[in-house]
């Protein structure tokens, strides 16, 4: 069985190598130019997340066939509308890669509504209202390269190329490219102009006129881009444009590429199907069991002294006022709160993308709430009843260690004796987690921002969001990426 499988793989690889060079594929052009995040939070995060995922999946299904897509995820206050478009010189395979990268980078805006992501090969936008016909907005801007200043001759050619592309695009499905040689040199000015296909020809023309006026302000720099609500224009002294397919046979070549790629994929997939199915079945059963147990744990926590009312914590932070914000991570924001009895607390507001992450949260609350040590931040409780899950910790006024060691003025407050005590305290906290608890706990995200300091500058380890428990007879060797920098 092994020999035929190897032979088939070799044949497929040879076919792919023979066919791919003739496809005239260019660079993926997935470099991020700019990401614009809104400031409006969803009304209900548990509704927003599935709507967002649904919109992304709908966009993905459409963009693979046309390089453009619009989608609407459900309806109501937390509806998510999406638009994606790849620029006209990208092939469909390159378009799919660019969109995949765009989906990854917009996570930096989560969980805010209204996201615009401009990449060098595609554009992705999400929002909670119908924006598909918008062509101008307050966020319209120009991004100028500052590598080198170009000659007057280049500026003349660049202006000419911009005018050519901007004039041609509205009558060419919103897309045009131009190349104008620079007089008495081997250089050229290259321009790409692209409107979103949801615009009318008149809206496209108006958007490109605004964009051209803006981008010419980047001269004499060697490169410029305009990031407008309804269009994208770029000029450069470097040929960033993908080659034009020979003899207009791009569709036929694309089919060949897809057939070859699919064939190679099938060969690889068949070899892994049995193993994957077995693994998937076991994983699903474990997740179902885990989520069912987590539901029981939620009820237990709700009825215990650890539970805080969501409304109580909301009021304590002045409804999560930005003025009370202490810090923010990838999946949580921390606020200072004051309870009615005057106690100061730190409230961690978490956002979950899936049930498994939520299940892990409830288990960790149950595990960590029983742990007390002078060098560990004390967990006071949690709230599981509101639109987000909240953790409540003791408040430490000196904040985290990084506020001192990376600040030259504050750093003077830490003499070597205090620094030594912080080192020892951190070590004692880790030893306690590793050796003195019922289940061995590995923190996995130790860094200066996760070491908090009380009024006497005693170290207290915080943020167990990535903690994991292990049996006493098991060691911990992990190559998985965890935490943030």
The full set of domains in the chain, from first to last, is 25-127 (3.30.430.20), 141-244 (3.30.430.20), 304-470 (1.10.510.10)
Task: Give the active site residues.
Answer: 445
Structure tokens at 287: 């997740």
Q: Environment class of residue 90 by beta-carbon count within 10 Å: exposed (0-12), middle (13-18) or buried (19+)?
A: buried
Query: What confidence score (pLDDT) does residue 383 get?
Result: 82
**387 three-state secondary structure:** coil
Q: Which long-range contacts (CB under 8 A, 24 or more apart) does 29-32 make?
A: 29/87, 29/90, 29/94, 29/98, 29/119, 29/120, 29/121, 29/240, 29/242, 30/97, 30/98, 30/101, 30/102, 30/119, 30/120, 30/121, 30/122, 31/119, 31/120, 32/101, 32/105, 32/117, 32/118, 32/119
The secondary element (H helix, E strand) that includes residue 66 is: helix 45-66
- Burial letters 117-127, b for 16+ CB under 10 A, else e: bbbbbbbbbbb
**285 three-state secondary structure:** helix
- Distance between CA 463 and CA 469 in Å, rounded? 15
Q: If you search the block for the tokens 């594929």, which residue do you land on?
A: 25
- Burial letters 210-225, b for 16+ CB under 10 A, else e: bbbebbbebbebbbbb
> What order of strands is seen across the sheet that includes strand 115-119?
32-37, 115-119, 122-127, 80-86, 68-73
Q: How far from 318 is each of 97, 315, 322, CA to CA, in Å?
A: 43, 5, 9
In sequence order, what are the residues at sequence separation of 6 or more whose Cβ sits closer than 8 angstroms to the Cβ of residue 181? 157, 187, 188
Report the candidate in 241, 169, 194 with the shortest Cα–Cα distance to residue 85. 194
309 phi and psi angles, rounded to 5 deg: -70, 140
Q: What is the dihedral of CA 438, 440, 446, 448, to 10 degrees?
A: 30
Report helix, strand and coil shares of the chain as percent, to nearest 5.
45, 20, 35
**185 three-state secondary structure:** coil
Whether the bond between 276 and the residue before it is cis, its omega within 30 degrees of 0, is: no
**224 three-state secondary structure:** strand
Strands (DSSP E) found in 58-105? 68-73, 80-86
Rg (CA), the chain: 28
Q: Judge whether 348 is annotated as a binding position.
A: yes
Report the candidate in 115, 107, 142 with the shortest Cα–Cα distance to residue 131. 115
Report the candidate in 123, 158, 154 with the shortest Cα–Cα distance to residue 235. 158
Query: What confidence score (pLDDT) does residue 111 get?
Result: 77
287 neighbors 356 (Cβ within 8 angstroms): yes
Q: How far from 421 is each of 377, 444, 452, CA to CA, in Å?
A: 16, 22, 13
Strands (DSSP E) found in 330-442? 332-338, 344-350, 379-383, 389-394, 440-442
In sequence order, what are the residues at sequence separation of 6 or more whose Cβ sits closer than 8 angstroms to the Cβ of residue 370? none
Model pTM score: 0.50
Q: How far from 173 is each of 178, 194, 202, 421, CA to CA, in Å?
A: 15, 9, 12, 68
Q: What is the pLDDT along the chain (485 residues), one digit of tens a residue?
A: 444 444 444 444 433 333 343 333 445 578 899 999 988 888 888 888 888 888 988 999 899 899 999 999 776 778 899 999 999 999 988 898 899 889 888 888 877 888 999 999 999 999 988 999 999 999 999 999 877 899 999 999 999 999 999 999 999 999 999 999 999 999 999 999 999 999 999 999 999 999 999 999 999 999 999 999 999 999 999 999 988 755 444 444 455 445 444 544 444 445 444 444 544 445 444 444 444 444 554 454 555 556 788 889 999 999 889 899 888 765 678 899 999 999 999 998 876 544 455 555 665 666 677 788 899 988 888 887 666 778 889 999 898 898 898 888 888 889 999 999 999 999 998 888 888 766 677 777 788 888 999 989 999 998 754 445 444 444 444 434 344 33
268 phi and psi angles, rounded to 5 deg: -70, -40
Half-sphere exposure of 327 (CA within 13 A, CB side): 14
**25 three-state secondary structure:** coil
């Amino acid at each position: 069985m092994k020999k035929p499988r190897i032979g088939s793989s070799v044949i497929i690889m040879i076919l792919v190598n023979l066919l791919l060079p003739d496809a005239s594929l260019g660079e993926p052009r997935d470099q991020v130019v700019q990401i614009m995040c809104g400031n409006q939070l969803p009304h209900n995060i548990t509704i927003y997340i599935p709507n967002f995922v649904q919109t992304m999946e709908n966009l993905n299904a459409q963009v693979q066939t046309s390089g453009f897509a619009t989608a609407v995820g459900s309806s109501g206050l937390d509806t998510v509308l999406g638009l994606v478009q790849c620029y006209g010189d990208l092939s469909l395979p390159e378009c799919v890669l660019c969109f995949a990268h765009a989906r990854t980078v917009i996570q930096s805006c989560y969980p805010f509504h209204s996201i615009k992501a401009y990449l060098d090969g595609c554009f992705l936008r999400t929002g909670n209202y119908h924006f598909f016909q918008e062509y101008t907005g307050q966020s319209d801007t120009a991004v100028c390269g500052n590598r080198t200043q170009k000659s007057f001759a280049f500026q003349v050619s660049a202006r000419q190329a911009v005018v050519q592309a901007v004039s041609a695009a509205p009558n060419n499905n919103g897309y045009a490219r131009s190349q104008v040689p620079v007089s008495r040199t081997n250089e050229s000015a290259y321009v790409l102009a692209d409107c979103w296909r949801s615009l009318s020809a008149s809206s496209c023309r108006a958007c490109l006129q605004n964009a051209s006026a803006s981008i010419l302000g980047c001269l004499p720099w060697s490169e410029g881009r305009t990031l407008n609500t309804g269009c994208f224009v770029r000029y450069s002294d470097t040929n960033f444009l993908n080659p034009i397919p020979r003899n207009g046979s791009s569709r036929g070549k694309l089919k060949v590429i897809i057939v070859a790629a699919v064939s190679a994929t099938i060969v690889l997939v068949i070899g892994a199907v049995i193993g994957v199915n077995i693994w998937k079945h076991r994983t699903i059963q474990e997740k179902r069991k885990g989520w069912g147990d987590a539901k029981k744990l939620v009820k237990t926590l709700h009825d215990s002294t650890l539970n805080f009312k969501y409304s109580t914590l909301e009021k304590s932070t002045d409804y999560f006022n930005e003025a009370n914000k202490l810090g923010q991570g990838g999946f949580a924001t921390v606020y200072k709160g004051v309870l009615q009895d005057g106690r100061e607390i730190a409230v961690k507001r978490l956002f979950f993308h899936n049930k498994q992450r939520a299940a892990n949260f409830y288990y960790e609350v149950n595990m960590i709430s029983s742990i007390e040590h002078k060098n560990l931040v004390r967990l006071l409780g949690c709230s599981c009843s509101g639109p987000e899950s909240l953790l409540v910790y003791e408040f430490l006024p000196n904040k985290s260690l990084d506020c001192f060691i990376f600040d030259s003025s504050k750093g003077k407050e830490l003499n070597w004796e205090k620094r030594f005590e912080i080192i020892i305290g951190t070590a004692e906290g880790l030893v306690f987690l590793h050796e003195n608890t019922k289940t061995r706990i590995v923190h996995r995200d130790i860094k200066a921002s996760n070491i908090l300091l009380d009024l006497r500058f005693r170290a207290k380890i915080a943020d167990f969001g990535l903690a994991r428990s292990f049996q006493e007879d098991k060691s911990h060797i992990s190559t998985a990426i965890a935490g943030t920098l």
